[in-house]
Amino acid sequence: MTAASTDTATLFIDGAWTASSDGGTREIRNPADGELVGVVSEATREDTEKAIAAARAAFDRGDWSSVPAPERGDFLLKVAARLRERKDEFAMAETLDTGKRLVESEIDMDDIANAFAYFGKMAGSNAGRVVDAGDASVVSRIEYEPVGVCGLIAPWNYPLLQAAWKIAPALAAGCTFILKPSELTPHTSILMMQVLEELGLPRGVANLVLGAGAVAGAPLSEHPDVDLVSFTGGVSTGRIIAESAAKTVKKIALELGGKNPNVIFADADFDAALDNALNAAFVHSGQVCSAGARLLVEEPIAERFVDELVRRAKQIRLGGPFDEATETGPLISPEHREKVTAYVAKAVEEGARIRCGGTWGEGDLAKGWFYLPTVLDNVKRASNALLEEAFGPVVTVETFNGEDEAVELANDTDYGLAGAVWTQDAGKSQRVARRMRAGTVWINDFHPYLPQAEWGGFGRSGFGRELGLAGLSEYQEAKHIYHNTNPQVTNWFTDHENENGKDGQAS
């Protein structure tokens, strides 16, 4: 572990590190043991407005957008290389903020570097296209320009990963931005700004404000000088952002989580499906937007499968991020643990049965914000437990018979971020995957993503996409340029005064 940081000049605005304008600070504590990680500045609305002004000025000057796209791509490749060089430092900072296992943070850093590398390669390859106008004298083409100033709001569960999915395409497109990470997990965002500064990004292109969303984040969706706001987080906050952004008709992209079905057919590879059902529900203590929190099992194997799931869930080892025996860690905060506790209590009130878990950690775990892996069965279809996210280590069990019922149950949600289907029947897997209303569907797997493949959801999971070609397009505006190389008089409107000549006589 490293010593707690004490430098509170942690806002990065217009190329300079600064403290909050009112001197406000926030303590950051490790969720695994409550130990102090650092003290950082808490931005005011005025600070965020200064960051917006800096980003606006930098964009209007063309400091970054005028840099040729291939050179912007080269810059992102340098960022990827620097992240790989400093992987250990970044992973440690992420782990101290989130309490997640160090090995998980190390994996995250690899994925972040890969995202920057992908968009670095993409930056110079999307030069637009020529459109056939049906006229040899017309050159008609589509060009892609940066959308402008971007407000980027990232969550606490994967702080830098989710930020990178926004920063990398924004820079590739030529935009400027203001990043507002979760107030609970700021340190890797601070390190990222240091890397961008060290590599020579022009001042004002990248800005960082820290603090609570209601104060530091709100101007990003409200201010007329922000052209796009990209948010990853909860539905309630997403609605507020959408309403605020609508007043200035700015572009928005929202990734708002999911209630993701994991469908297990009777002919699935039992051991692989069971192992991945545990991963789907309990990795990072279920604090994953794509967590497989709804387990749907076909009747013939349901009793055996759920019994084994419960047996295995009881064995999951909770602990601190540096204990090699640890398999999953704490929840992010005491307040979040209270929410998960209330969620499970309500499920029980509505008839659900706790098969395992449903309690806080005891003994050494009492130092942190731990909640035991929890399996709920006998959950009614109208139960809140099936309708809303727990965003914790809680999985509900439903059973089905046949493909049609599996699809009906899988789609019985207002969300549509992700889902999975497990079967050894290739035709069945494809049929079910096509019918599932979700932005990502895994077949015989759960959780992997690719930087070159779009990520996002249907319904209450939001709109817009991150990663892939569409992820870059979010930060671009398409412009049609129509060039007539041989202009002609059309005579659409007649010059009546001169139609017979200047003297009024027929010519």
- Catalytic residue among 49, 255, 389, 398, which? 255
Q: Please, are residues 150 and 486 in contact by the beta-carbon 8 Å criterion?
A: no
Q: Which tokens is 356 given?
A: 């395992």
Q: List, in sequence order, the alpha helices (H) in 247-321.
A: 270-282, 299-313
| Whether 42 contacts 217, CB under 8 Å | no
On the 0-12 / 13-18 / 19+ scale of CB atoms within 10 A, 366 is exposed
Select from 21, 28, 14, 27 the least CA-distant residue to 43.
Answer: 21
Estimate to the nearest angstrom the gap between the alpha carbon of 132 and the chain centroid. 37
Report yes or no: 76 and 123 within 8 Å, Cβ to Cβ.
yes
Give the largest CA-CA distance in the chain. Answer: 108
* Phi and psi at residue 93, to the nearest 5°: -60, -40
Tokens 């926030």 correspond to: 26
Query: At a CB cut-off of 8 Å and minimum separation 6, what does 393 contact?
Result: 281, 282, 285, 286, 328, 340, 357, 371, 372, 373, 374
Tally of CB atoms within 10 A around 320 = 24
Residue 421 contacts residue 432 (beta carbons within 8 Å): yes
Q: Secondary structure of 72-130 in the HEC alphabet? A: HHHHHHHHHHHHHHCHHHHHHHHHHHHCCCHHHHHHHHHHHHHHHHHHHHHCCCCCCEE
Q: Is 308 a residue of the active site? A: no
Classify residue 387 as left (phi > 0), alpha (psi -120 to 50) or beta. alpha
3-state SS record for 33-54: CCCEEEEEECCCHHHHHHHHHH
Separation CA 197–CA 499 (nearest Å): 66
Distance between CA atoms of residues 301 and 146, nearest Å: 52
Phi-psi region of 246 (alpha: psi -120 to 50; beta: other; left: phi over 0): alpha
Q: Which residue blocks in 123-265 are alpha helix, DSSP H?
A: 159-173, 187-198, 218-222, 235-246
Hey, which residues are catalytic here?
255
